[in-house]
Amino acid sequence: MLPLIDAQEISALRYSVRGPVFTPADPGFDAEVAAFNLSTRHTPDVVVGALDADDVAVAVAWAAQRSLSISVQATGHGATNAIQGGLLISTRRMQELEIDPLEMTVRVGAGVQWKAVVDAAGPLGLMGLHGSTTDVGVVGYTLGGGLPVMGRKYGFASDHVIAFELVTADGTQQRVTAGGDPRLFSLLRGGKGNLGIVTAMEFKLFLLGEFYAGGIYYPGGHARDVLTAFKAWAQSLPAEVSASLAFLRLPDLEMVPEPLRGQFVMHLRFAHQGTEFEGAELLRPMRECAPIAMDSVRPLPYSEVDSIHQDPDQPVPVREGGFMMERLDDDAVEALLELLGPGVESPLLLAELRLMGGELSTRPAGGDCIGPRDAAFSFFGAGLAVPPFAEALPGEFARIREALAPFSTGGSFVNLHGHFGDAADRARAWTPEAYDRLVEAKASLDPQNLFRHGHVVEPAVV
Ligand SMILES: Cc1cc2nc3c(=O)[nH]c(=O)nc-3n(C[C@H](O)[C@H](O)[C@H](O)COP(=O)(O)OP(=O)(O)OC[C@H]3O[C@@H](n4cnc5c(N)ncnc54)[C@H](O)[C@@H]3O)c2cc1C
């Protein structure tokens, strides 16, 4: 049975933290729990808008004393499943951001979004390893491993973390580094929100250099030519190039530019760290494989990096699903065309094949928890969770997973797993060995299993 939180206990919490506290009866509660994914409505019993690490530690200790479950939200980009009951810690006010340009490192608070890092680091000629949209929170993304736009060249974002500042389930604060606590450090790289709340993080930045990037849209009727060309081309690419190919069924809405509005198109996303000449040469086979509806690949100011993938920048109701692929061969191409090609009715707005490999395959010294080091491609789908698509989406994801099972690794990447199901489904995001290590660490750090919301492991069986 859930413990009851009476008004006196809420008052005690209000007196102990500096940030605001909201119960469902308070104005501001709805705005505080709102997620980027509009299809998810979190309903915690109480929310703390933490201002700093002390607020987080005090709030965690308060919840632990009452055996209340604890969850955390920065942006709600990862709000695939709703949080029900307990304490939610909202980190959006924790906006500390400090760059050391000489050491090429940055320290961020738990609420910082990647766009703030891009804005601050870009003018210094530096960049961080963000993903397809810089709207995402740096900490939540990196705890999941963080699959960056330039991942094939530099690896996962968590490979380059220097320190995590962590509040564990008993409310204690600690700085976790590779030298100080190698076991815990490795578990935070890809272990997601299982072991506590990260209040700040320090990590390495990289030199920007020249950048040739953007997208090419092809009419969907040429999906076979484009996918066949992509299959061969992707295998030939150096690590300096990141690429993905998406089947897009664009809605008939004003936000979609006119030539693409209401259309089924193939969207190649391309990013090359290097000169325009080299980039254009590398891209040539894909510029010649089929007629092009729109081509935006060019020397790209880094501040426009979100234009490569064109992910939504406003909250949307979505349902997502993803898994890793071991290969993209002729049979996989046929299967994909049967599932998503021209003439097929699919409720998926987007189905993306993202090329893995390069440095993404190299596990960092000290180890980590990232599952899909050996995958060839990531498959990620998303559909609008509104009628008439909403009802069809769970079945569509199941159908696609089953049809592509022969080409899949069987695993997923925790950040791109999407809506999760039972323990077996959640476990797909980690190797069995990493999963067991997480369960063991959770049993000692969080014996009450307070951090049980979100994409987490099961508690140890005792
Ligand atoms: C449009 C879009 C594009 C994306 N592109 C990519 C991509 O290219 N590469 C990639 O790797 N991922 C990508 N993602 C997934 C994204 O990285 C995850 O959803 C990530 O969890 C978002 O973190 P957040 O803090 O913004 O989200 P939130 O919903 O606020 O948090 C999600 C989860 O992260 C954990 N978390 C957040 N903050 C903390 C904290 N301070 N301490 C402990 N745990 C915490 C918790 O488990 C929480 O439930 C994308 C998501 C979207 C919606």
Nearest CA to ligand 1 atom 12: 415
The domain 97-207 is placed in CATH, from the list 3.30.465.10, 3.40.605.10, 3.30.200.20, 3.30.70.980, at 3.30.465.10
**pLDDT of the chain, 462 residues: tens digit per residue:** 444 688 999 999 999 999 999 999 999 999 999 999 999 999 999 999 999 999 999 999 999 999 999 999 999 999 999 999 999 999 999 999 999 999 999 999 999 999 999 999 999 999 999 999 999 999 999 999 999 999 999 999 999 999 999 999 999 999 999 999 999 999 999 999 999 999 999 999 999 999 999 999 999 999 999 999 999 999 999 999 999 999 999 988 877 778 888 999 999 999 999 999 999 999 999 999 999 999 999 999 999 999 999 999 999 999 999 999 999 999 999 999 999 999 999 999 999 999 999 999 999 999 999 999 999 999 999 999 999 889 999 999 999 999 999 999 999 999 999 999 999 999 999 999 999 999 999 999 999 999 999 999 998 765
Tokens 């990590």, residue located: 203
- Ligand 1 centroid from CA 73, angstroms: 9
pLDDT computed for residue 462 by the predictor: 58
Q: Please report the atom of ligand 1 found closest to the CA of residue 156.
A: 11
| Ligand 1 midpoint to CA 37 (Å) | 11
> CB 449: neighbour CB atoms within 10 A?
17
Amino acid letter for position 438: L
CA angle 19, 10, 62 (to 5 degrees): 75
Ligand 1 pocket, mutate which of 33, 69, 72, 93 (most atoms under 8 A from CB): 72
Q: For residue 413, which atom of ligand 1 is closest to its CA?
A: 11
Position 459 scores a pLDDT of 86
Enumerate the domain spans of the chain.
Answer: 7-90, 97-207, 210-313
Residue 343 makes CB contacts below 8 A (sequence gap 6+) with none
Spacing, Cα 106 to ligand 1 middle (Å): 19
Q: What is the pLDDT of residue 252?
A: 85
Which protein residues touch ligand 1 with a CB less than 6 Å away? 72-79, 91, 110, 131-133, 136-137, 139-141, 143-144, 146-147, 192-193, 197-198, 311, 415-416, 454
pLDDT of residue 163: 98
Beta pairing, strands 206-207 & 126-127: antiparallel
What residue's CA is closest to ligand 1, atom 5? 132
Nearest atom in ligand 1 to 75's CA: 30
Asked if the domains at 97-207 and 210-313 fall in one CATH topology, the answer is no
Predicted local confidence at residue 258, as pLDDT: 80
Q: 34: left (phi > 0), else alpha (psi -120 to 50), else beta?
A: beta
Q: How far apart are CA 13 and CA 16, in angstroms?
A: 5
Predicted pLDDT at 372: 94
pLDDT attached to residue 393: 97
- Determine the atom of ligand 1 nearest the C-alpha atom of 37: 53
Q: Find where tokens 């060309």 sit.
A: 229
CATH code, 7-90: 3.30.43.10
Q: Domain 210-313: give its CATH code.
A: 3.40.462.20
Residue-level pLDDT at 4: 64
